[in-house]
């Protein structure tokens, strides 16, 4: 069991490079190649896909928590794993992105569940992109974010050029991407790149508390909040108002809406089922 494993959870055998623990409605997924700062190999992508699928198939799961083992969160693509084992030739960036990173980013954004990310250490390259694809990002005070791509002659990928200007504005996005400088977690919080930065020792406790809280909330509405906010930058006001109306119509049919209103009127704490 890793130091980051959810206490009391049962690890599932997904493959060594990712750990999965499911407990109390939360699936805790830990990237587990600490010696290489959890950089992505093909095997780790496959393990992560399997972990997310297992979590999705478990109807008790109402929130996901993603973190990394050891001193790093994720150093992006493993730069030693860029050869296609089938051909023995360089895999080709486009292929790697299309086969592995793009489906992962889509999955994280389209999951109808909240995804909390606990950035426990350095996030570099596509490691930052994966954090940005999650819904609520906490980071340890000692963690950092590096758009490392330019250092090896690449452009930011796996969604970083999409997320960065939306999160921090164009001026900061350009400087981060073009300089590849390390951004500390406190500045990341101040700039709105992440939700919150917390003391290192508090990170996993806070992240688990947050994920556990979300797992008790109206899951249907949380999934629709994600969809609405993701759609927002591409929509005009009228389209977004129509989308909100449709989503609200959906929510008003839910058991959780009925429970929320009756708990309010009864002056008691609601118990949301997620339906």
Catalytic residue positions?
102, 157
Is 39 a binder of ligand T3D (CB under 6 A)? yes
Minimum distance from residue 123 beta carbon to ligand T3D (Å): 8
Minimum distance from residue 96 beta carbon to ligand T3D (Å): 4
DSSP the chain: --TTSPTT-EEE-S-TTEEEEEETTEEEEEE--GGGTTPBPHHHHHHHHHHHHHHHH-TT--EEEEEESTTEEE-SB-TT--B-TTTSSB--HHHHIIIIIHHHHHHHHH-SS-EEEEE-SEEETHHHHHHHHSSEEEEETT-EEE-GGGGGT----TTHHHHHHHHH-HHHHHHHHHH--EEEHHHHHHHTSSSEEE-GGGHHHHHHHHHHHHTTS-HHHHHHHHHHHHHGGGS-HHHHHHHHHHHHHHHHTSHHHHHHHHHHHTTS-------
Half-sphere exposure of 14 (CA within 13 A, CB side): 27
Minimum distance from residue 260 beta carbon to ligand T3D (Å): 42
Number of residues that bind ligand T3D (CB under 6 A): 24
Is 122 a binder of ligand T3D (CB under 6 A)? yes
Is 43 a binder of ligand T3D (CB under 6 A)? no
Is 77 a binder of ligand T3D (CB under 6 A)? yes
Stretch that binds ligand T3D, among 131-139, 150-158, 220-228, 250-258 (CB under 6 A): 150-158
Residue 155: CB atoms within 10 Å: 11
Is 82 a binder of ligand T3D (CB under 6 A)? yes
Stretch that binds ligand T3D, among 8-16, 89-97, 208-216, 240-248 (CB under 6 A): 89-97
Minimum distance from residue 120 beta carbon to ligand T3D (Å): 13
Is 83 a binder of ligand T3D (CB under 6 A)? no
Judged by beta carbon, residue 14 or residue 75, the one nearer ligand T3D is 75
Is 185 a binder of ligand T3D (CB under 6 A)? no
Query: Which listed residue (1, 83, 152, 261) binds ligand T3D by CB under 6 A?
Result: 152
Interface residues with ligand T3D (CB under 6 A)? 36-37, 39, 75-80, 82, 93, 96-97, 122, 124-126, 146, 148-149, 151-152, 154, 157
């Amino acid at each position: 069991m890793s130091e980051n494993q959810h206490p009391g959870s049962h690890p599932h055998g997904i493959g060594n490079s990712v750990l999965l623990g499911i407990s109390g409605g939360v699936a805790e997924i830990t990237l587990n190649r600490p010696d290489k700062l959890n950089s992505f190999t093909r095997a780790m992508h496959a393990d992560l896909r399997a972990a997310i699928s297992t979590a999705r198939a478990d109807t008790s799961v109402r929130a996901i928590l993603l973190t990394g083992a050891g001193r790093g969160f994720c150093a992006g693509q493993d730069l030693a794993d860029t050869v296609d084992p089938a051909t023995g030739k360089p895999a080709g960036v486009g292929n790697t992105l299309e086969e592995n990173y793009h489906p992962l980013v889509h999955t994280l954004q389209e999951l109808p569940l909240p995804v909390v990310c606990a950035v426990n250490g350095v996030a570099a390259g596509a490691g930052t992109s994966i954090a940005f694809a999650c819904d609520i990002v906490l980071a340890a005070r000692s963690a950092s974010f590096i758009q490392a791509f330019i250092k090896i002659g690449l452009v930011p990928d796996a969604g970083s050029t999409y997320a960065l200007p939306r999160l921090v504005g164009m001026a900061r996005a350009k400087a981060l991407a073009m300089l590849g400088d390390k951004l500390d977690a406190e500045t990341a919080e101040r700039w709105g790149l992440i939700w919150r930065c917390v003391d290192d020792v508090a990170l996993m406790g806070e992240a688990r508390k947050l994920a556990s809280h979300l797992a008790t909330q109206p899951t249907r509405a949380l999934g629709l909040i994600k969809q609405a906010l993701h759609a927002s930058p591409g929509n005009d006001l009228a389209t977004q108002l129509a989308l909100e109306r449709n989503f609200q119509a959906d929510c008003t049919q839910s058991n959780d809406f009925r429970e929320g209103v009756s708990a309010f009127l009864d002056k008691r704490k609601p118990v949301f089922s997620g339906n």
